Structure 1
Amino acid sequence: MSVVDSSPTAQRAPELPSPGAKQRILETANRLFYEEGINSVGVDKLISSSSVTKATFYKHYGAKDRLILEYLRGQHRLVEELLDGIIAAARRPEDAVLGLIDTIVAEIHTSGFRGCAFINAAAEFSDPRHPVRDIVSSHRDWYTGRLTDLLRDGKHPMPGDAADELMLARDGAMSGAYAGDPVSATAALQRVSARIVTEAGR
C-alpha cells in the first residue's frame, strides 16, 4: 500500500519565489535606470517590469536604495571585466589603451546609448555624501588608476597627468556624443588618445 497521498487535498509546501527573481529584478533595474534615469523609475514600475510581487521585491532588496547601489556595483564589475579582457588580449600597454578607446567608441555608436552610467548617476544625486556618490567616486578613482598603470607600463613620461587627460576626454566624448554629435565627439577622443599613446612611445 502506498504511503504517498496523491489526492488533490494533500497538503503542499508553500510556494517559494523563483530562484531567478532577484537577478530578474536587477536586470530590469540595469535597463530602466540606464534608459530612463534612476529617480524616474519607481518601485511599482520595477516590480511590474520584473514580473515579481511586492513581497518578492522587498524580500531581495528591502528598498529601492539598495537596488540602486547593486546596479552601480554591477556596472563597475562589467567595466572591470571588460578592461581586464582588453589588457589580457593586448600585446603592449599602448595597445590596451587604444583597445579601450575603440571599445568606448563602439559603445557610443550603439543604439540606445545614453552616456556614462556613473556620470548620469552623479548628476541625479547632488549630495556628495550620498552612498551613490561614494560608488561613483570609487569607480572613477579605480578607472583613472588603471589608466595610470597602463601608461606607466608604456613608459609615458607623465602617466598620472595623461590618465587624467584621457579620462576627461572619455567623459567629454560620452557626454558630448549623447547630447550632440557622436561622430565629432568620438573623433576628438581618438585624437587625444592617439597623441597620448604617441607621447608614451617617445
Structure 2
Amino acid sequence: MARSEPRERLLRTASELFYREGIHAVGVDRIVSEAAVTRATFYRHFPGKEDLVEAYLDVEDAHIRAAFAEAEASTDNAVARLELVIEGLAADVARNHTRGCPFINASAEYPDAASPVREAVARHREWFRSTLTALLADAGTADPELAAGELVLLRDAAMVGGYLDGWDRVRPAFVAAARRAAGLD
C-alpha cells in the first residue's frame, strides 16, 4: 500500500496507543480521533483493526531488522558484529521497549496461533532466530542454533524484566548472560 501522511499518522498513533495501553483496549474511534483523520480515511488504508495491528508489528519488525543491518554494515568482523547486536538489543529495550515486547504483548491478546497477527509474530521470531543463528555461526560459536535460542529467550526475559524491575537493574544481567550464551566470555 502506498504511504501517505494520514496512513503514517494512523500507524504512529496506533503504535503508541497499542504499546502503551494494549491492542484490545484501544478502539478504532480513538485512533481515528487522535490521528485526526476520518473513519473513511482509516478504512481506505486499513480494511480493519487487525490490518492496522499487523502494520504496527511490521514497523516493529522493520526497526529491529534495521538495527541488524546497521551492525552488519559497520564492521566485517563477525565477533564485533555480534557484540554490536547484543549492545543494540540492550539499547533497544532501554529506548523503545520499556513496557515489554510488542510481539509478546500482541500474542497475549491474540491467542489463536492461526490468526494473521500471530502469523506476523511467528514470522518475526523466525527471522530473528535465524538471523541470530547465522550471526553466531559467522562468529564461530560452537552451537549457533542453541545459542540463538538462548539469546531469543534472554531478550524476551529482558524486556519483561526491564518493564517489571527497571532496565538499570536488568541490563547488566542481560548483557552478561547474552555474552556468555554467544560465547563471547
Give the TM-score taking structure 2 as reference length: 0.90
After superposition, the Cα gap between the structure-2 partners of 1:111 and 1:73, relative to the gap in structure 1 and judged at 3 Å, is closer
Q: Is 1:132 the counterpart of 2:117 in the alignment?
A: yes
Let me know the Cα RMSD of the aligned residues. Answer: 1.8
- Cα shift readout 1:95-124 (whole Å, capped 9, x = no counterpart): 222212212222333387211111111111
Structure 1 residue 42 and structure 2 residue 27: aligned? yes
Q: Indicate which of 100, 105, 128 corresponds to 1:120.
A: 105
Distance, in Å, in 1 between the alignment partners of 2:100 and 2:167 is: 11
Consecutive unaligned residues in structure 2, runs of 5 or more? none
Which structure dedicates a bigger proportion of its chain to helix?
Answer: 2
Matches within 5 A, 1:39-78: 39-78=24-63
Determine helix, strand or coil for the equivalent of 1:147.
Answer: helix
1:150 maps to 2:129 = no
Could you tell me whether the CA contact under 8 Å between 1:32 and 1:41 is conserved in 2? yes
| Contact kept in structure 2, 1:155 and 1:200, CA below 8 Å | no
TM-score scaled to structure 1, two decimals? 0.83
Q: Do structure 1's residue 81 and structure 2's residue 66 form an aligned pair?
A: yes
Whole-Å separation in 2 of the counterparts to 1:60 and 1:181 = 37
Alignment-derived partner of residue 7 in structure 2? 22
Look up the equivalent residue of 1:165 and give its one-letter code.
E
- Return the offset for 1:200: 6.1
Q: In the aligned structure 2, how far is the partner of 1:189 from the partner of 1:26?
A: 31
CA distance change for structure 1 residues 182 and 62 in 2, over 3 Å: closer, same or farther? same
Greater mean deviation of Cα atoms: 157-166 or 72-81: 72-81
Find the structure with the greater CA-based Rg: 1
Change (3 A) 1:194 1:126: same
